[in-house]
Amino acid sequence: MTSGHQLKGRRVAVLAADGFEKVELSVPVAALRAEGADVDIVSLRPGRIRGVNLHEPASRVSVDRTLSQARIGDYDALLIPGGFINPDLLRQSEPARRFVREFDASGKPIATLCHGPWLLASAGLTQGRTMTSWPGVRDDLVNAGATWLDREVVRDGNWLTSRGPQDMVPFVKALIDHFAGRESARQESTAHAGETTSAPQRSAPPALVLGAMKWMPRPSLRTAALIGAGLALLAARSRHRQQGPVGWFRDRPGSRSRARRRRLHRPAWRAG
């Protein structure tokens, strides 16, 4: 039974980008706030970022600070949710990599799950660490020097990692203890860090995910049309930026013929 005030006065940064797995952000954040923590969503851009359920768009959350506005000294702990897209975007961002490197160097607690550990690997932090993740990320972490364990949660020093939404209940319980700095969490961390042999690769992907993808309804025609229109708009804007206003005008249908007509009807005194 929790008191509801274990994290009172603690400030937690949640580093996320578009494509975060909705349940991996919303459930831990709700639990942190229920325990009294002040939580900020930190992201690559201002505004509202889009969550997903597997690959389907979900609701959005408001960004409190961008990475350029966030300061390590303002926070006591860091949470990095997963999802397929979110950590892939973050790991390509130098400000995001720098943020987690500085946070880790401070010794403050970091928690992540699912594909979130990708960011830790890209930041060059996983060498010699013991951790877990979504099973499909195992090889990436092992190749980056980590010892990978196939467990619900793994603690190693200031890190807490978990496999994904299937382990949400034990992860949230461990998350509160980890961010509260409980002695039991530190003792378990020492035990996990002593393991040096990675668990073997899985022999098959999770049946739950295969089943969910199999029965996921196909996007509606309206959704497909909106996505197509959005992509076409982005492509047009990109082409316009590359060409500049002169190139854009030149390539418009009929623009060359109109320019030619203006030259033919130009008064003689304006010729040349």
List residues with catalytic annotation: 115
Can you give the C-alpha Rg of the chain in angstroms?
25
DSSP 137-155: GHHHHHHTT-EE--SSEEE
Identify whether the C-beta of residue 37 lies closer than 8 Å to the C-beta of residue 179: yes
For 257, the 3-state DSSP assignment is helix
Give the type of residue at 20: F
Contact criterion met (CB below 8 Å) for 174 and 185: yes
158 alpha carbon, distance to own chain's centre: 20
> What's the CA gap between 34 and 51, in Å, rounded?
21
Closest CA to 157 of 187, 117, 200, 112: 187
Classify residue 34 as exposed, middle or buried by CB count within 10 Å of its CB (0-12, 13-18, 19+): middle
Neighbour-count burial of 72, counting CB atoms closer than 10 A to its CB (0-12 exposed, 13-18 middle, 19+ buried) = middle
Contacts 24+ apart (CB under 8 A), 195-198: 195/130, 195/147, 195/149, 196/130, 196/147, 197/147, 198/138, 198/142, 198/146, 198/147, 198/148, 198/149
The helix, strand and coil proportions of the chain, stated in percent and rounded to the nearest 5, come to 45, 20, 35
How would you classify the pairing of strands 147-148 and 130-131? Answer: parallel
